[in-house]
Amino acid sequence: MSRIELLSAGGYRMDGRKALELRSMELQISPHTAVGTSLMPATASAVSRPDGSAQVTQGLTSPGRIARAPTVRQDRAALNVDISVAPWGGTERRHRARGDRRLVEWGNAVRSTFEPVVHTHLYPRAQIDIVVHVLQQDGGVLPAMINACTLALMDAGIPMADYVTALTCGLYGSTPLLDLNLTEQSDLPFITMAVLPRSGKVPLLQMDTRIHMDRFSAMVQVSVEAASVVRDELDVAMRGRTSHLVTALHGRQGLEGGVDDVVIED
């Protein structure tokens, strides 16, 4: 049981949200500084400008390029992930080196989440670099990274099987709480899930504490349902970006059927 009263008698959390209410999301595709992805031949050097980028802000959490030795795979692209954290963005206020255990864990989680989703077989002997800059931390950092990487990969035109949406879900007594902030995440048992909303598959599920199976099943069910809400937010942002690109290419007078009919299919 939590040591802090995170849920009032009226059902409100410390930041004014209901138990199953998500934090506000701000989605930007191709901002000036953001999560970046680039696709290049495995024998080439890293480029300075990413092919696609996105910035996702969930509550106060905001994740926003680093060359690696290329990994050559004959039949598909290699997926590389680099993560850096601004020292002023968290409560610890310390610099994390590139080999920091937390950064390595986050990088491995992002890579394992996207490897079965990205169509890497279309790019043999190439590498896809995903570079994440975490600007501020207030809980749910890994899910925010995954949501930002989804938009950045799509902005780069890299084919994927589905949107990848992620969020956290904690347990306060017997009540599931969605999208935890830092205070809640520090005090509650929680899971981190990435979901493919179309198929309901779960490419990532992390849990560091023991939870009863009945409670665990309820948390997973709530998270899968909430993933569709996050997917809708990402889809709106992606359609807006596509509309902007189509308008820039063809002019407003050339859009008769709308972006839904021209570019994006569900």
- Please give the tally of structural domains in the chain: 1
Distance CA 111, CA 236 (A): 25
Q: Render pLDDT for 67-124 as a digit per residue (tens, 0 to 9).
A: 343 456 778 888 999 998 888 766 665 666 666 888 999 999 999 999 999 999 998 8
Q: Render pLDDT for 167-222 as a digit per residue (tens, 0 to 9).
A: 999 999 889 999 999 999 989 999 999 999 998 899 999 998 888 888 999 999 99
Number of Cβ within 10 Å of residue 149's Cβ equals: 28
Query: Minimal CA–CA distance to 99: which of 107, 89, 91?
Result: 107
Residue 223 forms part of a structural domain: yes
242 membership: H or E segment, kind and range:
helix 213-250
Residue 181 forms part of a structural domain: yes
Note down the domain range covering 170: 54-60+72-249
Residue 185 DSSP SS3: helix
Query: Minimal CA–CA distance to 227: which of 141, 182, 170, 167?
Result: 167
Distance CA 160, CA 153 (A): 8
Q: Are strands 78-85 and 126-136 parallel, antiparallel or unpaired?
A: parallel
Residue 225 forms part of a structural domain: yes
